[in-house]
Structure 1
Amino acid sequence: MAPSAFATPLFLKSSHSFSNPGRCRMTATGANPPKAPTPVKDIYTPFWNYATSVLNARLPDLKAYPIPDGFEHKEAMVGKGKRAGLVTTDSYAYCTPKLRQIRTAHVQGGTQLQVLNFVMFPGMQYDLPFFGADLVTLPGGHLIALDMQPLFHTDDYRAKYSKPLEETFKSHQLNLPWGGDFPEEAARFFSPNFLWSRPSEDEVVETHVFGAFKDYLNKYLDFVEQAEPVTDTESLAKIKESQIAYLKYRAEKDPARGMFLRFYGEEWTEEYIHGFLFDLERKIETGEYEPPS
């Protein structure tokens, strides 16, 4: 949801710093001075900084993945009056021989909205699950979704990719309880270790969610390191079918669509979703990505 030159270290996005304006002097009438504005907490930059450091350390063959023009940075003024503010969306993307696309969208809208959407898509010659982190902060609280979305729901696949994460999931679920109703049609795209929670406190995100994010990311990279390419035609066809079904669903049902439409308009939003966030179908159609056969 983009990269620098090939074979160069990832750009570590630094945390924003804020300075409090100086106090005005009290007037002769003894009126209280105006209050300095409260700095806006940048919640998800530490998550992305951690991810970039880990990706650099554990993926020595990491390269830049092309981001279409106009998507690396986008901003808009939204709201009116005292509620008006700047919303920015920064996009980053990378790839490796095993991971077709590693991409992130980082949306910052001050006190009204903060989002980190970080997804890793494996190459279609591997049976790896997808890595997905959807971290959203709104005025009323936080929406947290972490998972390794499976390609298949067979016993063998779960034993290979879900069972090793089971204890990690259970330990984090103690502090991040189930967030409630979830669309039934989406259930097939999530694993038994789907961590879905709605914490209300920033501190929970900064500690428990951050801890779960680190554990899920590192475990996923363990799977990537161990992955071997699939070679038989029937399995490759099933992997392709499963990947495309997931991408179609996500592109059609992307919950960020309404947000982006409101901020940046329909043309930019639809191109961002289909031309970058979930771009596999288009790349196959244009011949930019040739799936294994």
Structure 2
Amino acid sequence: MFDPLLEELNESILSRGGIEAKIPSDLAEGFSVKGKAFIKSWLWQAPGFRRWRVTRMDAGENLQVLNSVAYPEYKCDQPLLGIDLLWFGTKRKLVAVLDFQPLTQDKDYLDRYYDGLKSIHGRFPELGGNEIMRSFDPHQYFSPWLLFYRGNSQSAINSLKSAFTAFLDCYWMLNQLTLRKPSGFSPEEVKNLHIAYDIYSAERDPAHHLFAGYFGQAWANRFVSEFLFPYSSITQNVTTALDFPSE
């Protein structure tokens, strides 16, 4: 379901100077405890970004997943890129979340960074559903113009590829524009905002339970705390090798 989008995402990072980083082999890929699902992840370093992670899970007709988060360098207060796509084949149900995840809900910040996403949101109304998010507060780390859809509308499924391409292109363009402007936050403040994002997300991400069901609780705990949200353990003074210092 998501292989074309995965290829587009990874190729876009690679074409812009991305370098693939090593991940411990047991976290980089694996099969479910029942042998009915496969998961593979990539970790990238790219100009303008301190880390960019990508995960693809294939559980056949039961479930397909594509997830990615991009963290800009600390010197840049650009929103994080967030991609979360799930396809339940037997139910023909799509869950899609595409957003430039804001570091703050301050009006000046939203005015500065969201013209492009506003335009995309208007172009794809079928992906701008009004359903309530079940695991997260939509007013914290989500923008008012996120693309969020849950259901089996064929029009939404058909629009996903075009919306994904427009979304990704817009984010790359935003990064280039942002690097030319002074940041509204100091590098230390941006780092603290990234830490807060990881802590919040690790506590609420429903994928934790999903991964535990397929790959076991111990593996899921490591995957969430060491790969998905490595700063979630910052209060315990835990250092991870899966993060990179800002330039």
Q: TM-score range by the shorter chain?
A: 0.7 to 0.9
- Kindly indicate whether residue 176 of structure 2 is the aligned counterpart of residue 225 of structure 1: yes
Match of 1:15 in 2: none
Match of 2:19 in 1: 63
Q: Which amino acid aligns with 1:181?
A: I
Distance 2:229 2:26 in 1: 16
- Relative distance call for 1:186 and 1:270 in structure 2 (3 A) is farther
Give ranges in structure 1 of 5+ residues lacking alignment. Answer: 1-42, 79-84
**Which of residues 286, 290, 293 is equivalent to 2:239?**
286
TM-score by length of 1: 0.74
Q: Is the 8 A contact 2:121 2:128 kept in 1?
A: no
- Kindly indicate whether residue 225 of structure 2 is the aligned counterpart of residue 274 of structure 1: yes
How far did residue 234 of structure 1 move? Answer: 6.2
- Relative distance call for 1:64 and 1:163 in structure 2 (3 A) is same
Counting matched residue pairs gives 241
Q: Is the 8 A contact 1:44 1:114 kept in 2?
A: yes
Match of 1:20 in 2: none
How far did residue 201 of structure 1 move? Answer: 4.6
1:101-112 pair list within 5 angstroms = 101-112=51-62
1:5-24 pair list within 5 angstroms = none
Which protein shows a greater Rg?
1
Q: Which amino acid aligns with 1:76?
A: S
Distance 1:233 1:51 in 2: 28
Distance 1:92 1:66 in 2: 8
Distance 1:274 1:229 in 2: 33
How large is the Cα RMSD of the aligned pairs?
2.7
Q: Is the 8 A contact 1:100 1:122 kept in 2?
A: yes
- Relative distance call for 1:110 and 1:179 in structure 2 (3 A) is farther
- Relative distance call for 1:208 and 1:156 in structure 2 (3 A) is same
Match of 1:125 in 2: 75
- Kindly indicate whether residue 166 of structure 2 is the aligned counterpart of residue 210 of structure 1: no
Distance 1:257 1:238 in 2: 28
Distance 2:138 2:111 in 1: 22
Q: Which amino acid aligns with 1:148?
A: F
- Relative distance call for 1:200 and 1:222 in structure 2 (3 A) is same
Distance 1:72 1:186 in 2: 30
- Relative distance call for 1:49 and 1:99 in structure 2 (3 A) is same
How far did residue 164 of structure 1 move? Answer: 3.0
How far did residue 154 of structure 1 move? Answer: 2.1
Distance 1:233 1:227 in 2: 10
1:71-110 pair list within 5 angstroms = 71-76=27-32, 78=34, 86-110=36-60
